Structure 1
């Protein structure tokens, strides 16, 4: 079981479904949510600031990330999150792109980000989580 998972999506129904499926599958002890990439980056910035330059001990091991969101979408988030200051503090954090798009260009682009483990289609399911458990644990 993962300790902490972050789900980033602007759709409240998707966030509710993520919470429900993750809680029922014993995939993670805790799930936190953000409604766009900017909120997610602010969360990670707060973690760094609260640790005053020390190693951040507890942060999400996995992010489920939507691509198409207002304010800051998934691609913008990934571009920021690959920068050295984030990767230094959160190097073990992995990303699963969870999107409704089936565009092969999006799937191929996701593969260019080193922290992206997979590109999965919405909605999240218990079977998806079971397969991910085998990969992550």
Structure 2
């Protein structure tokens, strides 16, 4: 059973991403958060066995953005080794791509909207690591 967190303040985007993940049979358990701060609190309270295998993280959010979320996870990196964070962005900025690569927990950067090819590529990437 794959557990997924979806962190994005765009409700329509969340609905579309969640629908895509369900249609593709990617995840049986999807938790959606429109606040990175709430998602962070939830994530850090989880036992290691309960952690999501995949986190889709939007960069541009109020209160706490995606970069701040990633910075807050750094002290907990050891506990979060099993989590694969995919940054979701509508930005095509090379600086975002470079910055995302500087975070060990980031497994990839995906341009919105997520499509079935991306979902299949992520699934293949995760299976290769098992």
Say whether the fold is shared (TM-score over 0.5). Answer: yes
CA distance in 2, matches of 1:90, 1:120: 20
Unaligned runs of 5+ in 1: 48-54
Q: Which protein shows a greater Rg? A: 1
Q: Distance in 2 between matches of 1:96 and 1:57?
A: 20
Q: 2:93 aligns with which of 74, 93, 103?
A: 103
Aligned residue for 1:124? 114
TM-score, normalised to structure 1, is: 0.88
| 2: CA distance, partners of 1:40 / 1:91 | 17
- Considering only aligned residues, what root-mean-square deviation do their CA atoms show, in Å? 1.2
State the shift of 1:135 in Å.
0.6
C-alpha distance in 1 between matches for 2:56 and 2:12: 14
Alignment of 1:52-67 (within 5 A): 56-67=48-59
Partner of 1:19: 18
2:65 to 35, 52, 73: 73
Match of 2:28 in 1: 29
Q: 1:50 maps to what in 2?
A: none
Q: Distance in 1 between matches of 2:99 and 2:45?
A: 28
TM-score, normalisation: structure 2: 0.92
Give the corresponding residue for 1:112: 102
Q: Secondary structure at the match of 2:125?
A: helix
Consecutive unaligned residues in structure 2, runs of 5 or more:
none
Is 1:91 matched with 2:81? yes
2:123 equivalent to 1:133: yes
Query: Is the 2:4–2:27 contact (alpha carbons within 8 Å) kept by the matching residues of 1?
Result: yes
Local SS of the residue matching 2:91: coil
Alignment match, 1:52 = none
